Amino acid sequence: MIDETTHMCFACSPINPIGLKLVFADEGDACVTRFVPGREHQGWTGRVHGGIVTTLLDEAMAQFLYRRHETAVTAELTVRFRLPVPVERELLVEARQTGARGRLLMLEAKARLVDGTVVATAQGKFLRVPAQVLG
């Protein structure tokens, strides 16, 4: 049973009533998820809000680390929006680690449509922290 008081992540919790409910898997050296944004995720009419796209990219990178037992938090995030993202079209999001230096882990992520068109990319720096810091 999932503890509702500790697992309400907006991006990945299956029980958060307003969350994205993302499910992740490892494919080769990447952590991947699929998501179909609805009209409730739009900014401009018919287009996904940039904050939702950013959340998808950030969470994919965080999940890459989580799935490898790294306790880390986002320290820096740079997002490049390449194209407006249409609602109600499946997105494929994948993340990979690109480097590490001391407590700092560097990752990249991309979001693309099923036809392969890249709609957004991100570079992230994550800071390793002791597990007890996050509770």
Q: Which of 64, 39, 71, 65 is nearest to 52 (CA)?
A: 39
Q: What does the pLDDT look like over 61-111, one tens digit per residue?
A: 999 999 999 999 999 999 999 999 999 999 999 999 999 999 999 999 999
CATH at residue 96: 3.10.129.10
Give the three-class secondary structure for 59.
Answer: helix
Give the pLDDT band of residue 4 (cuts 50, 70, 90): low
Query: Residue 24 and residue 135: Cα distance in Å, rounded?
Result: 22
Judged against a pLDDT cut of 90, whether residue 23 lies above it is answered with yes
- Residue 104's domain comprises 25-134
The verdict on residue 8 lying in a domain is no
Q: What does the pLDDT look like over 31-58, one tens digit per residue?
A: 999 999 999 999 999 999 999 999 999 9
The verdict on residue 62 lying in a domain is yes
pLDDT for 3 equals: 55
Give the pLDDT band of residue 1 (cuts 50, 70, 90): very low
The verdict on residue 87 lying in a domain is yes
Judged against a pLDDT cut of 80, whether residue 116 lies above it is answered with yes
From residue 30, alpha-carbon distances to 3, 17, 51, 55 in Å are: 28, 28, 22, 17
Query: Residue 62 and residue 72: Cα distance in Å, rounded?
Result: 8
The verdict on residue 3 lying in a domain is no
pLDDT for 48 equals: 97
Q: How many domains, the chain? A: 1
pTM comes to 0.92
